[in-house]
A and B are shown apart, each in its own frame.
Chain A
Amino acid sequence: MTQLDEVTTRAARPLPWQEQSYQLLRAHDVSIFGYVPDAGHSVLINRSIEDPAVQAVSLTTEQEGIGLLTGAHLGGKRGVLLMQSSGVGNCINQLSLVRHGRFPFLTLVTMRGTYGEGNPWQYAMGQAVRPVLEAMGVIVLAAEKEEDAIPTIDAALTMSFKAGNAVAVLLTQRLIGAKEF
């Protein structure tokens, strides 16, 4: 049974995908969660804070997450960076370390500035997320529907920690909804 099977068949009633995603990350031995507070990531952030086997690291800026996760990799641990699309811009030069050092790297990005966005300030960075990440050598996957979320994160875990790539999963506004103002 794969980690994906364990997570998706464990509960009698299926858990929300956010809960499943936490279990999936833990089943893949992800034990360091770097985050900048974000409503879209609140389940993952709160579970990681509550979990005594996990280090939840609150960051002042998303770029700190690159150093955190590359250092953790040197020490033999797996981590994930949880951020919003605006945070991708803060990471650009730090991603040099991931690319040049060929570090495995996984980030989950909650999107703004796309489908149904009402805040005009979010568009500039939101629309630039994919080209910016791809320019820095990060493979970009996107989950558009609830049924896509867990298989996409599972694929990203394999692509990053098994195959050694840098991978971003975009949790799109079709999936998580646009923030109401």
Chain B
Amino acid sequence: MNHATSNSQEIEFTLERGVVLPRLVGDPDDFLIIAGLGGTARDMATITDAGSNLFALGGAMGGATMMGLGLALAQPDRQVLTVTGDGELLMNLGALATIGVLNPPNYSIICVDNGRYGETGYQTSHTGRGVDLETVARGAGVTITTTVQREDQLDEGAKVVRSTEGTSFVLLRVSEVESRPRKRDLDAAACRVRFRDALQAQPR
């Protein structure tokens, strides 16, 4: 599957998410983290060892990046990271415009893009048909962006994730290799209480 992007880079969905996402995130304890549904929820549960600094969605598809924005506005002294999939992000592209306008410096978004709707049987998503979400994010006003689709782009991607000059966006293109299975707590009320209690116990 190849499409030319606006910067004439061939699109590659080859990296393995279980290998590259931990390298892109680095120490997860540096962040308060929101994860999207399905794959990214499992990815981040693995990376944080189901940490109390993670709130992962199991529904309300399209809400992840705005949840991260609310958290970033409420906690301006903490770095906030939203990790979500291409399908989840595509469901509410307007949120990127809302975020781009405010541009909070303590906010970063990673979109794990496999070009597929993994949870429903790996049907091709819009990104699998050529839509470039980094270009969308830039057009929405998010100025610090990059795409990581090869190993040699990971270091630059990790720098962008940790940028504090404004909101940053990293498009991480990965293969269809699935996230590692990971048991996670699907009780959102329990996760909410746990997240808030942990944050209040360790204010910064």
Interface residues of A (CB under 8 A from B): 32, 55, 57-61, 63-77, 79, 93-94, 96-97, 100-103
A73 to chain B, nearest CB (A): 8
The A interface, classified by DSSP as helix, strand, loop or mixed, is mixed
Residues of chain B within 8 A of A64, CB atoms compared: 66, 92, 94-95, 98
Residues of chain A within 8 A of B34, CB atoms compared: 71
In the bound assembly, the distance between CA atoms of A71 and B57 in angstroms comes to 11
Residues of chain B within 8 A of A75, CB atoms compared: 32, 70-75, 199
Cβ < 8 Å to A, chain B residues 21-70 = 32, 34, 55, 57, 59-70
CB <8 Å contact, A77 and B199: no
B204 to chain A, nearest CB (A): 12
Residues of chain B within 8 A of A74, CB atoms compared: 32, 55, 67, 70-71, 74, 192, 195-196, 199
| B70 to A, closest residue via Cβ | A71
CB <8 Å contact, B196 and A58: no
CB <8 Å contact, A71 and B60: no
CB <8 Å contact, A76 and B74: yes
B73 CB contact (under 8 Å) in A60, A61, A77, A93? A77
B14 to chain A, nearest CB (A): 31
CB <8 Å contact, A97 and B95: no
CB <8 Å contact, A71 and B66: yes
Residues of chain B within 8 A of A103, CB atoms compared: 192
B193 to chain A, nearest CB (A): 9
Given A60-B97, A76-B74, residue A70 in contact with residue B67 (CB < 8 A): yes
The B interface, classified by DSSP as helix, strand, loop or mixed, is helix
A45 to chain B, nearest CB (A): 15
Query: Number of residue pairs across A and B with beta carbons under 8 Å?
Result: 120
In the bound assembly, the distance between CA atoms of A72 and B153 in angstroms comes to 33
Cβ < 8 Å to A, chain B residues 116-154 = none
In the bound assembly, the distance between CA atoms of A66 and B188 in angstroms comes to 15
B75 CB contact (under 8 Å) in A61, A66, A76? A76
In the bound assembly, the distance between CA atoms of A102 and B61 in angstroms comes to 17
CB <8 Å contact, A67 and B74: no
B159 to chain A, nearest CB (A): 25
B69 CB contact (under 8 Å) in A58, A63, A68, A97? A68
A67 CB contact (under 8 Å) in B63, B75, B101, B102? B63
CB <8 Å contact, A57 and B60: no
Residues of chain A within 8 A of B63, CB atoms compared: 63, 66-67, 70, 94, 97
Residues of chain A within 8 A of B9, CB atoms compared: none
Q: 28 A-B residue contacts at CB 8 Å?
A: A32-B74, A55-B102, A57-B73, A59-B98, A60-B94, A64-B98, A68-B66, A68-B69, A68-B70, A68-B73, A70-B67, A71-B69, A71-B71, A72-B71, A72-B73, A72-B74, A73-B196, A75-B32, A75-B72, A76-B74, A77-B74, A93-B59, A94-B63, A97-B60, A97-B188, A102-B188, A102-B192, A103-B192
Tell whether B189 is near chain A: CB-to-CB under 8 Å. yes
Query: B174-204, CB under 8 A of A: which get 1 and which 0?
Result: 0000000000000011011001100110000
CB <8 Å contact, B98 and A60: yes
Residues of chain B within 8 A of A65, CB atoms compared: 66
In the bound assembly, the distance between CA atoms of A43 and B156 in angstroms comes to 45
